[in-house]
Amino acid sequence: MTDYAPHPDRYSQMPFRTVGNSGLKLPAVSLGLWHNFGDDKSLETQRGIIHRAFDRGVTHFDLANNYGPPAGSAEINFGRILKEDLKRHRDELIISSKAGWDMWEGPYGYGGSRKYLMSSLDQSLERLGVDYVDIFYHHRPDPETPLEETMYALRDIVASGKALYVGVSSYGPELTAEAAEFLAEEGCPLLIHQPSYSIVNRWVEEPGEDDMSLLETAADSGVGVIAFSPLAQGLLTNRYLDGIPEGSRASEHKSLSQEMLSDENLAMVRALNDIAAERGQTLAQMAIAWALREQGEFGAETVSSALVGASSVEQLDQNLNAVDNLEFSDEELAAIDEVADDAGINIWAGATASRTHG
């Protein structure tokens, strides 16, 4: 154990929002450990970021079985910090993990089968050093597995006590509605959906085959929404306005390709940056606030939380300061809509494909 003691005023710094029709509340901004928490980053840097996040009221830490690199290392590293620094505060934390993408060799190391989901969660619990996770997600649709099998596995995971709630990620609106219906019939509500969503990636607002968007479907089904990649993998920051800095995601081809940094996209980013400056925010802060904005047609708290990453305490602080101004005028929203365009950032679009039914 270290001598870390969290800030006594941490809960006065962060607004909390109810998740769907549940009694669970999440911080408006949650910390995602997709990048920067693998073995390629200093454990002490990771420790500092996690400490600072909790000091500022971030209670939700989002992981997956394959986060790293290498896969699994983010859970191991977070588990070590949890054991050494935050164990006494476990009941103040929401720890989430996921399974769906490739994790180990062979036919049982990916997808949505009962075999894979059960095995993966057991491995995640061992890496994290905990008896349960608060939220366990199916990370992506699997067209090779009947939806019923995946949903019944999630139901039984909750019944086993290994997860308190379950969610899905990157499901389209129709699959989300079906998943929510399956689980409601089993007395195990679908808590939350985690889609990619940003100013330049608005697929969740587009009507699906049933003329309902994912946001409408989630609201209609009582499912909360937590947006990942609200910064469009770093495009919606000031980092690329003057070239591609060494060590950035684009320079290392990590989920933001240099093709996405076209002259057209960068001109759009500069225009958005000007709007943010007029609001007294950085572009990143405005982008996070936009994802959390009030959307009257879907309810005041359409998005329960926005997931952000951080490579340093300073970057984390900048991102968390977005909650200081979450209000937008009609004129500001219109100005954003006028310049914003789909920038090809939804690299997970294929994951929303249809699935089979038993």
The pair phi, psi for residue 25, each rounded to 5°, is -115, 140
Dihedral sign for Cα atoms in the order 158, 163, 164, 167: negative
Question: Closest by alpha carbon to 103, among 77, 70, 126?
Answer: 70
pLDDT value for 245? 53
pLDDT value for 239? 80
CA-based radius of gyration for the chain: 19
The angle, 0 to 180 degrees and rounded to 10, between the axes of the packed helices 214-221 and 173-185 is 10
DSSP letter at 31? Answer: E
CB-CB contact of 278 with 329 (8 Å): no
The angle, 0 to 180 degrees and rounded to 10, between the axes of the packed helices 313-320 and 283-291 is 50
Pick one of 3.40.50.620, 1.10.3720.10, 3.20.20.100, 1.10.10.60 as the CATH number of 11-352. 3.20.20.100
Q: What b/e string do you get for 269-299 counting C-beta neighbours within 10 Å, with b at 16 or more?
A: beebbebbeeeebbbbbbbbbbbbeeeeebe
Q: What b/e string do you get for 56-73 counting C-beta neighbours within 10 Å, with b at 16 or more?
A: bbbbbbbbbbbbbeebbb
pLDDT value for 258? 63
Per-residue confidence in pLDDT tens, the chain, 358 aa: 789 999 999 999 999 999 999 999 999 999 999 999 999 999 999 999 999 999 999 999 999 999 999 999 999 999 999 999 999 999 999 999 999 999 999 999 999 999 999 999 999 999 999 999 999 999 999 999 999 999 999 999 999 999 999 999 999 999 999 999 999 999 999 999 999 999 999 999 999 888 999 999 999 999 999 999 999 988 899 887 765 555 545 444 555 566 677 788 888 999 999 999 999 999 999 999 999 998 866 655 689 999 999 999 999 999 999 999 999 999 999 999 999 977 666 656 656 644 444 4
3-state helix vs strand vs coil in the chain, percent to 5: 40, 15, 45
